[in-house]
Structure 1
Amino acid sequence: MAEEFKTYRGSCHCGDYIYEIKLGLDFKATKCNCSSCYKKGGLWVIPKQDEIHWVEGGVDTLTSYTFGEKTFHHKFCPGCGAQLCIVGTMEVPKPGEPYNPTTVFNVRSFQYGQVGDVWTLETKTLDGKSYRKPYEPAKFTGPEPEAATEGAKIYTGSCHCGAIRLALKMKPLDKTSDERIMDCNCSICNRHGSTWMYPKKDQVVIEGEDNLGVYLFNTKLFGKTFCKICGIPIHNQPQPITEEQFNNLPEGHRKWLKSGQDLMPINLRTIDGLDVDDLNVVHYDGYNKNPPRYVEP
């Protein structure tokens, strides 16, 4: 019996890039543990290469990031930071050989309702971490966070290219930690693949902020930041607001903004030597619990 295929529609969050691809009905997404895929929480599928259709934008105008032997080009939206696809080959073509790259797409960029929830999506694992040379994280060189926390540990991390580096000062993180750690499936967090934790501002120091892209949407009270070079999501950034603007907000938004003013939510996937799968991560249904609901482009 011939394999049955279905058309899936995906997009970045801001809508500048929209695509449609065909996949078999029983596809499994690949979860790669390499340094780059882990930091972006990527879940990859290989569509029929002759059935890739860009409705808006195109692969050539996405920001491209490559590293190592540069056989893969990781493509993300320069406006909102959503990681859409990877283009490349397993090996560098030899002189005279044709270059026939494969394009794989990130299921996290599929529009809501296309495949159900990523938490229950059937996946297979690729041990990309053992492929080629080990990843060498960038070194944090800034000052220690100012927080006075008894029994604290200093964690350091970065985006993938190292243009943005951070330090986090807090009690050790493991299965026994009672810190609020959360995966959210809202329209932007799902696309970014972030795993959030909510330390106070004096517990975090960020270097290289000039390399941060900031994406604003909906209320525009918080910016979702990402590295402009490699696209890795970093943190939630409260935006400046005047007293008059604050007083004109709905009551719910005022409470939300006040509750977050002393916090610096960070993406734990940026922290070196920490695996979010080893922590107590709560699944939060932000797509349905945070009105108004995002309209898929």
Structure 2
Amino acid sequence: MLDLLKTYCGGCHCGGLAFEAAIDFSEGTSRCNCTFCRKTRNWTAATTPEHFRITQGGKLIRKYDATDQGGNYHCFCSICGVRLFSEGDIPELGGAYVTVAIAALDDASIEELKSAPITWMDGLHDNWFSPPQETEHL
């Protein structure tokens, strides 16, 4: 398989936090219907910790664990509140991960986003490996 990693820049609304992430949009993106993702209209692209770095404002990051189980966090700017990425470690899914919020990317083209496949997950029913019956409202 071809490695189509491209480095994208992103950040929050106030400009306090910035990051770089190498992403291969041909590998797809994900959307979920769990209570957190539904409320944040979450759309993400996966990368690995070695392909992600904070370039500005690391001290502004705040972390929220939506599961209250520790180790898997949604990260956002403490000033403007924009959610930028999630990070954690889920052995069943391959270990350490970073998922970047598509909305936080500054330089992904409309064409790249339109062509990126979306994998839907039914997190609302803890059926993570199957799509929900309905996705139009998400």
Q: What TM-score, normalized by structure 2, do the two folds share?
A: 0.76
Q: Counterpart in 2 of 1:76?
A: 76
Partners of 2:97 and 2:5 lie apart in 1 by: 19
Letter in 2 for 1:116: I
Say whether the 8 Å CA contact 1:62–1:76 is kept in structure 2: yes
Task: State how far apart, in whole Å, the 2-side matches of 1:116 and 1:108 are.
Answer: 12
Note the C-alpha offset of 1:90: 3.0
**Following the alignment from structure 2 to structure 1, what is the Cα–Cα distance between the partners of residues 103 and 42?**
7
Which residue of structure 2 aligns with residue 109 of structure 1? 104
1:27 Cα offset (Å):
3.3
**Matched residues in 1 for 2:113 and 2:9: separation?**
19
Structure 2 letter corresponding to 1:129: L
Q: Identify the residue that residue 64 of structure 2 maps to in structure 1.
A: 65
Q: Distance in 2 between matches of 1:122 and 1:27?
A: 7
Q: Which amino acid aligns with 2:88?
A: G
Percent of pairs with identical residues: 21
Aligned-pair CA distance for 1:118: 9.5
Displacement of 1:25 after TM fit?
4.6
Task: Rate the CA distance shift 1:25–1:90 in 2: closer, same or farther, 3 A.
Answer: closer
Asked if 1:124 is matched to 2:119, the reply is: yes
Matches of 1:45 and 1:103 in 2, distance apart? 8
Q: Secondary structure at the match of 2:110?
A: coil
Unaligned 5+ runs, structure 1: 92-99, 133-274, 279-297
Q: 1:36, CA displacement in angstroms? A: 0.6
Q: Does 1:88 align with 2:88?
A: yes
Alpha-carbon distance in 1 for matches of 2:83, 2:120: 19
Once superposed, what is the RMSD of the aligned Cα atoms? 2.9
Structure 2 counterparts to residues 255-266 of structure 1, below 5 A:
none
What TM-score comes out, normalization by structure 1 length?
0.38
Query: What SS does the corresponding residue of 1:80 show, helix, strand or coil?
Result: coil
The residue identity in structure 2 corresponding to 1:130 is H
Q: How many residues align?
A: 127
Distance apart, 1:62 and its partner CA: 1.0
Match of 2:14 in 1: 14
- Structure showing greater radius of gyration is 1
1:277 aligned partner: 137
**Are the aligned partners of 1:108 and 1:118 in contact in 2 as well (CA < 8 Å)?**
no
Q: Which structure would you say has the larger RCO, counting Cα contacts within 8 Å and 6 or more residues apart?
A: 2
Structure number with the higher strand fraction is 2
1:34 corresponds in structure 2 to: 34
CA distance, structure 2, for counterparts of residue 103 and residue 82 of structure 1:
16
- Cα distance in 2 for partners of 1:16, 1:6 equals 23
Q: Given that residues 32 and 128 in structure 1 are in contact (C-alpha distance below 8 angstroms), is that contact kept between their aligned partners in structure 2?
A: yes
Q: Runs of 5+ in structure 2 lacking a partner?
A: 128-134
